[in-house]
Chain A
Amino acid sequence: MAEPLDDYIDAVSKALALPVEEAWRPAVRANLEVSLRLGRMVDEFALPDETEPAPIFTA
């Protein structure tokens, strides 16, 4: 039975032309679940609209 993230993995795989062989899928899915869980944790934190990102970080 397909897992909830499988359709998403297929769609992004196609959009990015990034191969995901069937044998890799369980590990990719497991890693993605961790990333999304941690991403949600970041997402839940309210930040002002004016907050600047720090892609070039200055300590």
Chain B
Amino acid sequence: MTSKPEMTAAGIASAVAARKMSALDATEAALARIKQHDGILNSFTDVTADRARAKARAIDADIAAGKPIGPLAGVPFAVKNLFDVAGLPTRAGSKINRDLAPAKRDATLIERMEAAGAVLVGALNMGEYAYDFTGENVHDGPSRNPHDTTRMTGGSSGGSGSAVGGALVPIALGSDTNGSIRVPSSFCGIFGLKPTYGRLSRARSFPFVASLDHLGPFARSATDLALAYDAMQGPDAEDSACTTRGLEPTLPLLANPVSDLRIAVAGGYFQKNVFPEAVEAVSRVAKALGATDVIDIPEAARARAAAYVITTTEGASLHLDRLRKRPNDFDPAVRDRLIAGAMVPAPLADRAQKFRRWYRAQLAEIFKSVDVLLAPATPCTAPKLGQVNFNLDGVELPVRANIGIHTQPISFIGLPVVAVPVPLEPLPIGVQIIAAPWREDIALRVAYALEKMGVVAAPSPRGI
């Protein structure tokens, strides 16, 4: 048996475990597909072929020896290049970080994926230092949308979106500070999980905004998302924000019915500044789930504003010394945003953090009466690469500033979200399935149910 391009992680792991396919064959298939298509997609910045083959051979040897193997045995995966990969400098989309010494040890999440049998095949393109919603990168070139290579992948985990959307690998890992998992999932037509803040360890990944940074998986099905997520859970003393909660596996709960869940559509702010495609996508999902209630999240616009202020000030603080010493080695657009962030008066950042506490309490109240909120993942389908403005109801709006307007008020307080792909024509678009803190299981369950109903699916890549 050979690995087909769109084979799921679950399918590969099952075939490998049943000895119908070797881990090496699965790995070679991914490497061949990367070689065939990544010249166009530009999703990979590093392909770790030797390492991947060695890992795959070790898994095949374990199987031959009758040793136990993990639930992801033989599944190829790749990571945004802000994850430490032993032997590579962690570039985080930048020119500056290429001068760092190679990482000595993999990020915790890579170690956990490989402990479950997955095979790392490379590192992925991203927006510089994750301060990006487009997937464009001045140093490495843009990652390209697998459904139309003249369009954006979304960012900042653009390579992750492109690699999974283009079926180069079934699973990728990325980061989400303000929407960087959910936006590429939406534009590239795939599933993405931004877990609860603090759920998955960020140890040995390059930070952006410590109080907003999350890591999580991308996949082509809800089951694969759950498989990867379950493999990566668990406390980690090396990330001070990582929860001490024990493992809470989601895979066994995935097929539980959703009829008992109280599901509502986010109204007000989340229904403004959206293109008809986003309205249609939310409507299809809501209809399939029988969700008729609409709930207004109070002060969502202000939450987005506060997230913006925290992002720009914390981001500036992180990069202050690099801005002083190597300003000309930044992407000029990122540099100028960060310099401006350094100039925001401190009381505004403090008030944004205080507002965050207030807003969190409002959402906690809402989640007493609902289990799930539905909202657009992006206001539009993937814009053209380099596109500066879009026209909405006769009003010209800047693309960059508006891509993340629906994701920012949610990650601001760390809620878990699964972005599900609605396969509209000609381009897919995502919907956020938002759950209460620590209830990733519920968001994944809803995503799985929608997939079984045929309402959401990762479309075959049409641009390659």
- The answer, among A16, A39, A54, for a CB contact under 8 Å with B345, is A39
B435 CB to nearest A CB, Å: 11
The total of interchain contacts (Cβ-Cβ below 8 angstroms) comes to: 129
Say yes or no: is B401 at the interface (Cβ < 8 Å to chain A).
Answer: yes
**A51-B357 in contact (CB<8A):** yes
Residues of chain B with a CB closer than 8 A to A17's CB: 324
**B437-A56 in contact (CB<8A):** no
A12-B324 Cα distance, complex, nearest whole Å: 13
Query: A residues near B, CB below 8 A?
Result: 8-9, 12-13, 16-21, 24, 27-29, 31-32, 34-36, 38-43, 45, 47, 51-59
Say yes or no: is B341 at the interface (Cβ < 8 Å to chain A).
Answer: yes
**B353-A53 in contact (CB<8A):** yes
A12-B313 Cα distance, complex, nearest whole Å: 14
**A59-B354 in contact (CB<8A):** no
Residues of chain A with a CB closer than 8 A to B401's CB: 34
Q: Please name the residue on chain A nearest to B195 by beta carbon.
A: A59
Q: How large is the interface on B (under 10, 10 to 19, 20 to 34, 35 or more residues)?
A: 35 or more
**B354-A52 in contact (CB<8A):** yes
A32-B154 Cα distance, complex, nearest whole Å: 24
Say yes or no: is B308 at the interface (Cβ < 8 Å to chain A).
Answer: yes
- The answer, among A9, A24, A35, for a CB contact under 8 Å with B332, is A24
A57-B197 Cα distance, complex, nearest whole Å: 8
Given A31-B337, A41-B301: A54 touches B324 (CB 8 Å cut-off)? no
A42-B358 Cα distance, complex, nearest whole Å: 12
- The answer, among A19, A24, A38, for a CB contact under 8 Å with B305, is A38
Residues of chain B with a CB closer than 8 A to A54's CB: 211, 353-354, 356-357, 360
A43 CB to nearest B CB, Å: 6
Say yes or no: is B352 at the interface (Cβ < 8 Å to chain A).
Answer: yes
Q: Please name the residue on chain B nearest to A44 by beta carbon.
A: B302
**A43-B336 in contact (CB<8A):** no
**A59-B196 in contact (CB<8A):** yes
A31-B414 Cα distance, complex, nearest whole Å: 26
**A42-B302 in contact (CB<8A):** yes
**A59-B197 in contact (CB<8A):** yes
**A59-B414 in contact (CB<8A):** yes
**A47-B351 in contact (CB<8A):** yes
Residues of chain B with a CB closer than 8 A to A59's CB: 196-198, 360, 413-415, 437-438
